[in-house]
Amino acid sequence: MGYYTQHYPPNRNRRKRRGWLLPVVIGILVIGFFALVAVPNLMEMNRTATDTGQEENTDQATIGTEDGDGTVHTSVTVDINTQITDVVEEATPAVVGVINLQTNAEFWQQQQEESQAGTGSGVIYKVEDGTAYVVTNQHVVQGADTVEVVLHDDTRIEAEIVGGDVFSDLAVLRMEASGVEEPIEIGSSENVKRGEPVIAIGNPLGMMFSGSVTQGVISGTQRTVPQDFNMDGRADWQAEVIQTDAAINPGNSGGALLNLAGQLIGINSMKINEAAVEGIGFAIPVDTAMPIVEELEETGEVVRPYIGVEIYSLDEIPQAEWRETLNLPEDVQNGVYVWSVESGSPADQAGLERLDVITELDGEPVHNMIDLRKILYQEKEIGEEVTVTYYRDGEKRETTIELGSQ
């Protein structure tokens, strides 16, 4: 404790020499060790990591060279595979374009010419014995003289319209299977849930954007959308559809709505086309579509029960007419009135007459024209007998009709 302060004053020069010599020697030893041992090991580790990354990782970044002015240019190569890209890659060959060609004949022209009247999409659902079958929307091929199917590689094949159905808005096409790959895998729409991710593939705005992919979710199930087939301003039918926010535009009609397993769960059909509305599209559930598709494939048409009357809903006429013309009791608030009866039809044979008001079928209430059609088309069979409850001149009556076919 008194070595430096009492007997021996410190020698500053000697102390300074000791201070710089030892660190210098240690530093030389450390640098030598790093150069001889650590650097080669690190380089080897880097090579190993790079090799492993190239083999196992699909997301890679590669740094480029340095310019003479010190600027470093970095190039990034990304190869991303996800569940969605895998589904799209697998399903796209089964989604086709559909071109509606119609013949234009003018009086002064010697030769008729075909022109493109519309385009849409379709889905190859079956390949058998050298023949491929495509499901699309009826409104896509309506009025067509010729239909061309455009494959994903732009190959065009002329197709035959096997049959179509206006109520379901479905049609089936048949064509040669040359150049056709695997058909789509059919899934189920029964258990789809709101919020479930979905993928739509089709050809919006024509063949220019063929094979377009959009992603969204199931926005709602078992939706009903009124449809006016004859454009008279009143609904003729209510389609039961799946609602999705995946973008569906003109040209997507007839395309595929897929789940994340790549299975077909719906046939894209329509959207609400209003300026204030965005992201409301609809698809025909595949569980509803496939029985109709199979019937169209086998017979070329969908045969449904019919009774042979022209009907209108009561809510289409003023209530004053309910009392003055139809003579309905005040407690009758719903039903359909008969405007005409087809001669020799099941209704004619059962005794129904003009201005009769039907209120029930087999005890099931009939509120309007759509109710009556749904009971007949979805619950009854051709040849089945149905009890019809109706009013004539204010009197409640019943009759039995044996359903015919239409």
Rg (CA), the chain: 37
317: left (phi over 0), alpha (psi -120 to 50) or beta: beta
Structure tokens given for 302: 């969908």
Q: E-strand spans in 38-145?
A: 62-66, 72-75, 95-104, 113-128, 131-136
Give the residue from 336, 310, 291, 303 showing the smallest Cα distance to 403: 303
Q: Is 269 a catalytic residue?
A: no
Which is catalytic among the residues 121, 139, 168, 269?
A: 139
Using the Cα atoms of residue 73, residue 79, residue 83 and residue 84 in order, give the sign of their dihedral.
Answer: positive
CA dist., res. 168 & res. 49, Å (int)? 58
* Total Cβ atoms within 10 A of residue 280: 18
3-class SS of residue 403? coil
Q: Is 7 a catalytic residue?
A: no
Q: Beta strands 404-405 and 305-306: pairing type?
A: antiparallel
Which is catalytic among the residues 169, 245, 356, 371?
A: 169
* 196-230 burial code (b ≥16 CB/10 A, e <16): bebbbbbbbeeeeebbbbbebebbebeeebeeeee
3-class SS of residue 115? strand
- Stated as kind and residue range, the H or E segment containing 28 is helix 12-33
Which is catalytic among the residues 168, 212, 219, 253?
A: 253
Give the residue from 215, 272, 220 showing the smallest Cα distance to 242: 220
Q: Is 169 a catalytic residue?
A: yes
3-class SS of residue 331? coil
Active site positions, annotated = 139, 169, 253
